Amino acid sequence: MRVVDAQRGPDQQVIAAALESVGARVDLGEAAVDADRVADSDLVVTSPGWRPDHPLLRAAADRGVSVWGEVELAWREQSSPRARWLGVTGTNGKTTTTEMLAAMIAVAGVRGGAAGNIGRPLVEAACVDEPAAELLAVELSSFQLHWSESVRPAAGALLNLADDHLDWHGSFAAYAEAKAKVWGDGSTIAVHNADDARVVRLLGDRPGVGFTLGPPSPGRLGVRHGALVDEAFGAGRLVGVDELRVSGEHNVANALAAAALALAAQLPAAAVRDALRRFTAGAHRNAVVAEVGGVRYVDDSKATNPHAAAASLRAYPRVVWIAGGLNKGLGFDDLVRETRAHLVAAVLIGRCAAEIHDALRRHAPDVPVRTVADLHTAVQAARGVAQPGDVVLLAPAAASMDMFRNYAERGDVFAAAAQALQEGPQ
């Protein structure tokens, strides 16, 4: 086995030593990823960070060498008896939905949990764990799905579709095609967002189970008289919307998707209900990190694209919005146009601050805007305009790598700055 990595930093060297100790040949540095490396290979297993147009991967395709991702490897090599997989993908909401689903699996007492893009490698959860998992809640990114040839979940959910990662996939059509792989083949129960026109078009005439924020017709899950209701699997009323401990219509949709997957896997309705009542969002996903002077400070650093930021902004009536970062080639006009009524003011940071400012100027010219150098200053500026009852919301609509290691570090800095306000003069 040969392992190559274009990086050769200290972390890579430690990993290389461990791999070499079990017989792997490891090459580090830019020269290591030369296309000629696949000349004598029968299989290439790629990290999802590598784009399909990388010369090494293109050389593999030209030579007829199979290219798998880690998800495909785990699917083919998983322990016996094979765990059932419940796949979750979408532009936004994947992690929250997967965590909700994992909570349902745990409450039902079924052996398994969450894996995949959520952080825990599938090769570990599906191939190494003893005793073997029975049911896995599998978060799947478009990158992972692109490199998955034969993965066939028992049920798979596509939560929503909006422009994202077009630089990696090359087009929206290619991005959507990758997402559709969560539905596997005819043996997979296709859970889908019936309110998302792009998802519905992608589904076409294949059968499936839809979820909607409106009243559900037969064969769907939805909301009726203020409660989540199942009309597909016979569970009936699940929980009241006001019983959920996560805010926003997007989280109601996430809860419906998770419930559909759990019920498709024949988990008890009681486990679905109990898990939804108990569930709280993870860090950096609409998490209240401080309350100062009647103003709540909410960290949604995970909102790394305009679609996610729009859902977050719509969850609150009056928002002082902190946004900006590293744009992924996406526009902000629709985001501002759709959420204008929620905006009290905007404080912008990062490389794409000017792009967001331009969108605000076009579609919300009466919203005060200030651009600042760093996140700590942004929190201070937001405090200066927020009134009791308002929310200061970090929903960047952009990636974090222009100023931070990742979205988690960005959220932690925001939380620390907000909590420091409690210690200062009031």
Catalytic residues: 94, 117, 165
Compute the C-alpha angle 374/96/107, nearest 5°: 140
Amino acid letter for position 287: A
Identify whether the C-beta of residue 26 lies closer than 8 Å to the C-beta of residue 3: yes
E-strand stretches of 53-163: 66-69, 84-89, 112-116, 135-139, 155-158
Rg (CA), the chain: 22
Q: Write the DSSP assignment of 244-259 as a string of letters.
A: -SS-SHHHHHHHHHHH
Listed in sequence order, the DSSP H helices in 78-139 are 94-107, 122-127
Burial (CB count <10 Å: 0-12, 13-18, 19+), residue 4: middle
Identify whether the C-beta of residue 348 lies closer than 8 Å to the C-beta of residue 321: no
Q: Dig out the tokens for 104 from the structure.
A: 């349902």
Residue of 48, 273, 89 lying closest to 188 (CA atoms): 89
Residue of 340, 287, 339, 346 lying closest to 314 (CA atoms): 339
Separation between Cα atoms, residue 10 and residue 403, nearest integer Å: 22
Q: Which long-range contacts (CB under 8 A, 24 or more apart) does 36-41 make?
A: 37/2, 37/4, 38/63, 38/65, 39/63, 41/2, 41/65
Alpha-carbon distances, residue 19 vs 26, 37, 224, 243 (angstroms): 7, 18, 55, 49
Identify whether the C-beta of residue 366 lies closer than 8 Å to the C-beta of residue 292: no
Please give the distance of CA 380 from its chain centroid, rounded to a whole number.
29
Check whether the bond before 131 is cis (ω within 30° of 0). yes
Please give the distance of CA 234 from its chain centroid, rounded to a whole number.
29
Identify whether the C-beta of residue 262 lies closer than 8 Å to the C-beta of residue 104: yes
